[in-house]
Amino acid sequence: MTYTQVGIMAVIVMLIVDMWLLRTRLITRKVFWVSYAIIVFFQLITNGMFTGFGIVKYDDAAIIGSSSPVEGPPPFIGDGRLAFAPVEDLLFGFAIVLLSLSLWIFWGRRGVQRTPTAGPPRWYRRG
């Protein structure tokens, strides 16, 4: 399975989780899309740094496009890349953000950690 296929599958699974499993329906809210626009801006910056400086490298056969055979950084835009990183990274980023926010809302609706606590766990006793 390629990076592209896994990225598309992650987005589809998270849409199903958001709409029907957890029923948070975040993707139908304007506030989600505004928040996601801010997040994707910073995702492009960090992805660009990691990929542009060569810290993270991708197999050309597993992503959309193919980098030139010449050594060096990948193109900034084009050849299946945006800010040096493969466009598939945006798919994974979307899935991760949607999962995190959906779980946050899901557990928040059920009252998990509604009242913050501080200090050692309640079961902890000094002997």
Q: What is the pLDDT of residues 46-104, one digit of tens each?
A: 988 988 888 888 877 778 876 555 566 777 887 788 888 888 999 999 999 999 999 99
Higher pLDDT, 122 or 105: 105
Confidence at residue 78, expressed as pLDDT on a 0 to 100 scale: 78
Q: Which is nearest to 86 in space by CA: 72, 67, 68?
A: 67
pLDDT bucket at 114, cuts 50 / 70 / 90: low
Cβ atoms of 64 and 88 closer than 8 Å: yes
Report DSSP state, residue 60: G
Report DSSP state, residue 21: I
Cβ atoms of 51 and 85 closer than 8 Å: yes
- Residue 117 falls inside a structural domain: no
- What is the domain count for the chain? 1
Report DSSP state, residue 63: S
Residue 7: give the domain boundaries.
3-64+73-103
Would you state the structure tokens that stand for residue 60, as one six-digit string? 């050309």
Confidence at residue 126, expressed as pLDDT on a 0 to 100 scale: 61
- Residue 94 falls inside a structural domain: yes
